[in-house]
Structure 1
Amino acid sequence: MSDQNEPAKGTASQVAGAVQAHEYSWRAPSPPHIHVPPVPEKTAVVLPASNPTIDEADIDDEETVKVLRHITGGKFEVHVSDWTYEYRRKFQPILPFLYLGPFTSAKDVAALTKEGITMLLVIRDTRSAMCGFLSGKKIADTLGIHHAAIDVDGNAQLISYGFPKATRIINGHLVMKYKVLPQSQAMSDEHPPIIPQTCGKVLVFCESGNERSAAVVAAYLMAMYEVNVITAIQYLQTQRFCIAFDDGLKNLLLNYQQILEARRGVLGAQRTNSQTVSQLPTVLSKAVTKRRIDDVDKEDYDMSGMDDPDDVARFENRGSFAPFHNE
């Protein structure tokens, strides 16, 4: 029989020298909370002009860069709209060419056809991919549109793999669809640019459309429009109010924001250095011929020819001597 005065097992009193504490105090500290203030009703969230410098760093074709800037260019703004519970089952436009929604909306053939969606991009767990879940391939094949998938083992893999790959997939599809447009809808010099209705439109979705896929779209806004994580989330919430980011996803996006800022700084420094080198005077590019050692000796140290009479008289009657001679 156990002693009644014996402390209960599993409590903090069993730890030698420990002070009685709450059981949750023994776990690792939680990440700091990131507060995203709500957008007032009469206030618009405006995205600045696009600056896809990070994505352009991997593109060698100048025409492709110009097309990408034309498609994503312009200043987009959204206002807080009325929201009903039924909207969470549908997809919403985030940008004229980018949509966000749940898996159920990716199966709505009528809505996809009406909106002119040209690509389905699913963000899913690797285990779901192995089981064949959350795939929009059948719907895409039925409609004759494109399909792509980004499979991750967890949210942590989004920052190193999911976010940059999604940006490349979206931009690559938009440029590809734009290049096959008729000449009548080709690029113009209008500001802001008018994006043709037949240009590509990408629907990004996951199971709920509120977490991973929403984080991918937020990361796209951060990469293409240089907005911070707070502005990106606020912009999404005005269009799809039901998105739900926990502190883990918010801190993940905050870390991605810092990575983007660091890469922009590196690219800016490289671009500045290349411009500085190209502006150097051409005279510096000419090779300076180095004098040979025999030329230097001949010009500066040739003492054999003593034409000065004073030098001859000074050394005329001197005998030979050996320095440091010990008798």
Structure 2
Amino acid sequence: MPDSTAATSADDALLALLRRLEETGYDFVTPTPLTHQRVVRRPGLQEARSVRDVLGWSRPFREGVLPDDLFEALAAAGVLARDGALWRSTVRVSRVHGLLFLHSAFPTDDEDSVFLGPDSYRFADFVAAEIAEGATIGRLADIGGGAGVGALTAAARCRPQEALLTDVNCRALRFARLNAAHAGIPLAVREAEGLEGAPAGTDLILANPPYIVDPAGRTYRDGGDLHGGEISLEWARTAIPKLAPGGRFLLYTGSAILMGGRDRLQEELRRTAQEAGCALAYRELDPDVFGEELDTAPYADVERIAVVGCVITKPR
């Protein structure tokens, strides 16, 4: 599949937006969609009054709320939409581990939405905890990397000789490329499923796959069978042959814990690692997320959904 590297004037406008936000110390942490809904529905807060309201909370705004240079950058980038007499930005900007990230505005209902939220922060924390500051890395790859949170968090710590991010979403590839350019981190992006086209001998592979059963089948959310763990397992099976001797696969995902405490995803990942002669370390990072999913039919036999971190290491 081709690399998605072509820059446009709209890209230049988005980079100018990120530079200006950096200069002004912009900061925003993206919450869960449910929290977002609760906050923006509060009385008197439906219309934006600040830059954070526009680019963080995705509130509609009147001309004059944004400084002229930010409004012009959004207009030049083609990411402004009319909302009656008001405007809306179709992008958000959040800060994760000190880096700014473009991603999709709320609500993220479109099939090609580029999602960033609490999982992104936990993923970044997991990656940072597993990579020593200043470590030497040859090749790094991020599967289904979205806006680039995992790849850029890792690359900021270890400065790999080569870094590749793959995704099936062209909008995600564009945002990841721009986020990397703003951060000053070299990153190749490629439209591909999994590690298709990635070179063998990769030292570090990252993955934060979708892990919820989504009836709508949204790419960034639906993890398939195994109560949403199918993609996580498939990506592990794909990653292991691509690892260099001594290389590691860092998987951040969710696992549906069945009634009685059985963790089927852990069982399958352990079996996969053993069959490949690899070591596996597996731990729960958060014991209970997306509790509302337990009211749905696919989770009738599940007692909780845990966020887990899995490290598979290939022998030298």
TM-score, normalised relative to structure 1 = 0.25
More strand by share: 2
Q: Which has the larger radius of gyration?
A: 1
Q: Determine which structure has greater relative contact order: mean sequence separation of CA pairs < 8 Å that are 6+ residues apart, divided by chain length.
A: 1
More helix by share: 1
TM-score, normalised with respect to structure 2: 0.26
